[in-house]
């Protein structure tokens, strides 16, 4: 008994698109309409079984652990942003925003740069004046460092940026070269695999045909065995009735 083997995936793809990307496996089973229908039915049943909730889609997941939860400043800012109602803030007036307990009061706190002098009862306190002088010296040193950084940036900043941009261009060039070499190697490997698979396609097609023929013979034998068993059972029943 013989049957016409199904077309191989190589032949199907070559006929449809004139070629294909190298495949890790040549499989002809999905070419059968029955298999395609079965796979599509399974996918549709799985999609129907999954019904995500409309609201709070991620409510079942645990809340992430924040690394800065112990830092008061970061925690307060995070709470301010998390509790802020975006739509309400866009529509509210400036007066309404001022009532928000999480509203930003100041963009940058400059109070630490102040140099206050002792006041009130501390006017006669020598230690208070020593602390004030020390604070003034620290602030002066800080401002001098800032001025020096600005002078260095003004004098050498352009050259530093040019050197930095040159290094970035070098990295981009090297990365592009490596990517092109990787793509070239990929195309070579895919071409080699494509050639090997095309060379193996006739053999695989013959093996698939033999497998189909063997399955048909097995089915035919199973049918014949079933008929013989049924006939034997019927003969045994008839013989039993004749004996009675």
Tens digit of each residue's pLDDT (9 = 90 or more) over 210-223: 998 999 999 999 99
Distances (CA, A) of 194 to 18, 198, 204, 208, 238: 13, 6, 14, 20, 64
The DSSP code sequence of 132-153 is HHHHHHHHHHHHHHHHHHHHHH
Q: For residue 56, is it left (φ>0), alpha (ψ between -120 and 50) or beta?
A: left
CA–CA separation, 48 vs 80, rounded Å?
40
Give yes or no for a contact between 21 and 190, defined as CB atoms under 8 angstroms apart. yes
Percent with pLDDT over 70 in the chain: 74
Structure confidence by residue, pLDDT tens digits, 184-209: 999 999 888 888 888 888 888 888 88
What secondary structure, in 3-state letters, does 37-88 show? HHHHHHHHHHHHHCCCCCCCCCCCCCCCCCCCCCCHHHHHHHHHHHCCCHHH
Segment 18-26 shows an average pLDDT of: 48
Least confident of 1-10, 129-138, 225-234: 1-10
What's the mean per-residue pLDDT of the chain?
77
**Least confident window among 23-37, 55-69, 97-111, 132-146:** 97-111
pLDDT digits (tens, 9 = 90+) for 62-71: 877 767 667 7
Residue 171 in this model has a pLDDT that exceeds 90: yes
pLDDT in the model for residue 147: 92
- Residue 103's alpha-carbon distances to 88, 92, 109, 233, in angstroms, are 13, 12, 15, 90
Q: Would the pLDDT of 231 be above 70?
A: yes
Radius of gyration of the CA atoms of the chain, in A: 41
Per the model's pLDDT, the better-predicted residue between 240 and 163 turns out to be 163
């Amino acid at each position: 008994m013989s049957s016409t083997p199904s077309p191989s995936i190589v032949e199907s793809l070559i006929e449809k698109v004139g070629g294909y990307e190298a495949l890790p496996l040549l499989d002809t089973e999905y070419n059968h309409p029955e298999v395609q229908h079965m796979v599509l039915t399974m996918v549709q049943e799985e999609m129907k079984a999954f019904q995500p909730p409309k609201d709070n889609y991620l409510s079942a997941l645990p809340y992430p652990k924040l690394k800065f939860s112990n830092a008061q400043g970061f925690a307060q800012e995070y709470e301010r942003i998390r509790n802020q109602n975006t739509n309400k803030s866009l529509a509210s007036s400036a007066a309404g925003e001022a009532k928000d307990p999480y509203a930003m009061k100041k963009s940058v706190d400059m109070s630490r740069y102040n140099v206050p002098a002792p006041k009130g009862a501390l006017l006669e306190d020598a230690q208070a004046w020593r602390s004030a002088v020390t604070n003034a010296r620290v602030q002066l040193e800080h401002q001098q460092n800032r001025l020096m950084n600005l002078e260095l940036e003004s004098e050498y900043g352009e050259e530093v940026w040019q050197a930095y941009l040159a290094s970035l261009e070098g990295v981009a060039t090297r990365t592009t070269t490596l990517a092109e070499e990787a793509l070239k190697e990929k195309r070579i490997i895919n071409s080699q695999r494509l050639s090997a698979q095309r060379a193996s396609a006739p053999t695989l097609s013959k093996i698939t045909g033999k497998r189909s023929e063997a399955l048909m013979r097995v089915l035919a034998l199973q049918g014949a065995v079933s008929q013989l068993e049924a006939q034997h059972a019927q003969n045994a029943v008839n013989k039993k009735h004749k004996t009675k």
